[in-house]
Structure 1
């Protein structure tokens, strides 16, 4: 359009049908945007063939930014052939860059994977270093740039390990903990174990973005992230970064630090919001926003990716918003880009993209929404990018200078919009062009309408131009993808200061280029000044309102409102007020009592980094017991005053069945006021409490004004009361008799210690340097131990962090032994008996009337009487009515047996026989269970029949019953079932109870598999819960919701089976013979499944050390450190 020059000529000899390649090069110069390279073959002075191709030129790839495709989110198993084909396809599609979304182990702190294969932190995509290098090398070979995804937010386990070493890099609130959108400690533990699963939920599949937002107002945090991007670019060859996260802060420091080492590295930011429907574009923060846009920073807008995200989905609203946004961004030196619609018809997508292009925006997530007369849209944009993506400014009051008139006879609903998409382009040689982007919108005005008529092509469209004072219209031309040749010249008719041009045809999108020489400019809009004025007015308004409120308060006008104090600044326990507000139906037991069973029961509430505290192993070192975990599950549907714990014992009955509760770096907000109140009552009633310190609790948390504060043997006097030492504080003993088995020389060091002062009467058990590290105290009848050392800080070279010391499990074991005192007692188990509800049918009345009732009425009254099952007698009565009257409603029978379940005992045996012979699965299953409770060998033959059942639940109930009956005569039947049945671990456990053990090595493998399966199903349960209640749950159709609910029930049932079977096997081990010990030791030495470690310690702990010494020696070289610990015991 502007100039042409010859860049290469050569003589060539070509035989008929011969093909030759002639390499050549030429100096391009500084001319950016679209170019055409035209080749001509001349023979004997006559042109015999010609061809051409287009290419774009820009110093910053985003300036002519056409998004391409990468090889996929997984770079594992990438072949050179597939990489080459992907990039060749990008070249054919005119794409000049691609972005790899969320590919790294952490988008902030780990873009340099330390292993060949890795998994991304944000979305768990599998990747490989070699694959990523191959992809980028192939892209660069073809002139395609590669952009990495980046975020000022740590993700996944890599991000949390960075947080462990540098917690000061991350946002922190004492009221709620670190700045995180979500985190599940259970899934973080899966990541730590490299236990990724991409299958469906019932097969253990899961996805989780555990996040931690960084402090980009903190220079060391900025430098850390910038340096990681540089290291990643040095390894892979990244050409730039596109920051996600909808914020900007302190990026100039980051940009300068990166570009000092990587000149030409480009930067993009997802930080704009078009605010469609507003009359102004308002940036999130003018100073930082201007800084990142300066010098062609890419400014992305993700907010417009769904047409329902603004007003009513109006096309006009979107057009105005996207143009105003582009005008502002271009004025401050930025390159605007928007994300296209997630969903929409083909025509919706077309107008979505064309509206953005008319605004001068780039677009991403699509390479082309269709073909045009000129070819694909990227082809057109490559050639004519100067008229779309150059730095332009919106012409103000365009109606005073320009007009578009449709020819007579045009459709009455035709609309050509250009008022927000008329731009002034200034060229370096002094020329200036006015670019009218004409959009011929379709016959409907809202996206996603069911009826979508296409636009009518318009003929003889007239453009009238009022010339600026002293200006001459030098030339004009029409540019459009709807033109086969891409552009053609227009011949204007000039009449004084007015010129008119006629476009023969306008189809979808046309650009009229008016080039002026001399004269004044058209007036321009003032988007930056308008926004600045708005912000100033808003500030002035707020200041005025504050001043007025202060004056009213001073004059005692109105009711003064007391400022809400921060949670950590309240002077007393705030939990009663929270309970009164949010838990109005909460009833606190008058005198709750622990339910002792003679065994130490420990519940471990696992927060972040709880994996460093092997409480389960420590429990076995302390003499053994039962261990149950729960996890912090800070995800959207759990947030609120109820806290965000998963699998915590959420009732007095459940919590008071434990002897010791471990709160491991758990934030008070995650517990919630109800759990905190229950925990306080648990301790006062005699329960033990172990509090592990960290950045979520004590002086770093919000414990101070909750029910927990009174329990602690320290007083939280101020926030952030930490002592730190990069070299480490050595752990030393303060009370020698408390830790009889700990070698303190090997106890290691802590790098951070909470300095909350010790309460009067409390006792310091161990120190970290000069600071108390472990403190014990009492509250009511209970004991409390708090560990003030926390696992944060970057270990200095040559130091041993205390959590890595082999002595740490023994330290914890001593604490548990102290806290569990009194657990040897056995409480009398009594079920709280409810009074009969006289408004419901009484069981005795039902028994009297049942035989005379018709089936519908019997079922109705049976449902009512079910609610009056309050003891063994009423349970037997209602169940007998259902059996004697042959009720067949499976759902009703299920609810009846569930209500009777807690009261079943050996006295139900006659009913058990009757149920075991029923035609209904639900009754036979319960019948086998009851016969097992009776432990009568006479019932064995009937129960054995259950092994032939087709219903798995009936088979399982029969197996357990045979184990309870304990008749060795049943062993052959169980052995026969084991050979072909599915419930193998359960059958093996029953055989051990019957005195006929199966292959022990195979049994251990089945046990390990069950533990593995239990973890998988827990992961799957979380996935289904996220589907049902997570951020996108609102989009589920009724059918999808029912499907997910069914899948949840399936996963929960399978999880319950795996939990039962693994515990049942562990309980069946008993004494091992030498052959079994040999198999057990060999299994433990080779296993990589850490979940078997508690069984290992429990089994070894049953025998004197001398008796197990030969086996312990073999474990010194075990795969797992938890197992190697046995060699030292």
Structure 2
């Protein structure tokens, strides 16, 4: 891992390390686990150092799989809080999956308990959790409080006391955070437990709210109270000031009502040592300990995947997909194998004539040409060699489905389809094309003519990229014709909103409330990179005057959606793109129609965090987009904290800027208009400035931008 991190960082300094585990910690503590990472503690510590990511996949099955150790909410809550602390101490971030079609109360408690522990929620839109309308805004606003991995659990005995008419969970969820040399946060998470502690009770109602909640802390010597606030997603993303009573070195506050989860934050002033920045690499491990760790199952666990003989085997850009990973519908048998690159391989054992192998939903691929290289090893100890075959069903759901067979009989197979029976791993190439973006599956089986003395292993599938199809290339074979007429045209304004993470932080939910009647709004959600239900046909998109992509990537629209959007703009439609971590630089715009529509060119890197907030100001071509914003309004210092670095294209107009950075940029494309906002709604207030999205005139500018793009 140390060699891997060092190698990759030379090529991509921002590369993040981590892994996705398919079993909960509760399961791991009670079952034998054969994964090499578990046996090699120094490798795990190295993967977490400097901000690695540890995601727990199968926690989302906690109420459905009888094998898992969690039976009660209290057990789940405390063990996952302990797991998060352990990952944080190793220098990493803990991620948990919550978004499943369970009962709303279950989703709410999973979401609240995981986030209270300091874990990052992934999978599923935050609106699935229920219980609050503003989860994305709340998490963004208070990310420093909720997700600081250097925050430490505070021993509460004699330091913190909580009283309520119902017993609350809070002891394992009380932490301290050093914000800077003068500021310390004492953070008390108050959790109102579910009405039933049994996880099998999936339809339990919300418990009665806890009332009369009082939190008392002992004020440490040399520290003074600055303020106390409550954070509660149920009431919004703004902090609720609490009145504090100081007496005898103690501070007491009435925390109000706790429905499910509420956070009380005591901000204290004093002199504090700021935690040092955690190193990207751990100290070099003792070589003897490394070898001892590799013995786990009696042999070395894996090899360096960047060894020259591995890299030179396959040319071009390659991504390796391990067949023993999670989310695999193939009923394969995984075993330890020192010859496998990660120490584990799928296996047809000697006593079986056939066994399933392969990988479903192998990896996400863009449209293009690829080669799937199967890494297979055949071991035959018989006096006479048996006949061996590997069949592979290559499936891209709804697009193509074909079977490929490999075999050891030279009378039936030759060239790259002939299996080598020499006890060594070899790559076998299977070329294929992806006419559209998606996740192909490789569902196969390994068989033999004689069981008892031979085995087959499938280590992984290496996907080689031969060519990625640009939208322009796909267009050459596209027979769909764009409509002759212009988009929209109905009286009033018709807007289509593609809602990515933070769409409502931008204020679009308030600008276009449901059942408003003044503006006709259509929309869809972006989840996991897929923009669900975005119009794929011209006639569906041409009903609108303007399209707003709020923190949405290009690939999730699919080729058909991008083609329709291109024609829509060129025919007179409006397009507004709002920045964020899932769009522009990280939105896979390259080689798509959307890149050609933009008034700016993009860098491949992500949005950058500014060292200090930058106040936004009118650009050289402020014009109509700033209509109604008075000169005095800029005195509030509306500011941006993260932005995309972009370069202007010919014909671009800059309406807003942040220092020297173009922020709100437009240009005319064909008969249509395109606007890009290169800022993001990330970050938090540092001084007396105002985050631009909380500035009253931001909504006016956003409204102007959409109307201008729509030609209204």
The answer, yes or no, to whether TM exceeds 0.5 is no
Q: Which has the higher strand share?
A: 2
What TM-score, normalized by structure 1, do the two folds share?
Answer: 0.28
Q: Which has the higher helix share?
A: 1
Larger radius of gyration: 1
